[in-house]
Amino acid sequence: MIVKVTRITVKPENRVELAQTIGRLVGPIKNVKGCRTIRFYQDAADENVSLLLSEWETESDLDRGLRSDHFAILRGAITVLSVGITESEALLTSEAFRI
């Protein structure tokens, strides 16, 4: 499984618009082949910071999702509305969950 996390910082006046835009796109992105989930969280300590977290079956599924029209719209909205973006990805295997 691949986990992609995007930390988004927005100006206060753009916070609602970003949440509305992402809210409209989450459903269609969940329907992309290989997408396990996509979630949007607001930071409890700073309401101008949000996390967009998605989980993908494989790296090729993630790549396909990132090339989709819905992700293109999402990236455009984030670029226009944000003042800072940090992205990271992690490969998780079943070995990572053994105790």
Question: Which domain range does residue 69 map to?
Answer: 2-93
CATH classification of the domain holding 47: 3.30.70.100
Residues 67-94: b if buried by 16+ CB within 10 A, e if exposed: ebebbeebeebbeebbeeeeeeeeeeee
**Per-residue pLDDT tens over the stretch 26-57:** 999 999 999 999 999 999 999 999 999 999 99
Q: Strand 82-91 vs strand 2-10: parallel, antiparallel, or unpaired?
A: antiparallel
**Per-residue pLDDT tens over the stretch 13-31:** 999 999 999 999 999 999 9
> DSSP character for 47?
T
**98 inside domain:** no
**99 inside domain:** no
The predicted model scores a pTM of: 0.83
Domain count, the chain: 1
Give the angle 55-69-30 at the CA atoms, nearest 5°: 30
Side-chain half-sphere CA neighbours of 97 within 13 A: 5
**Per-residue pLDDT tens over the stretch 86-96:** 888 787 765 55
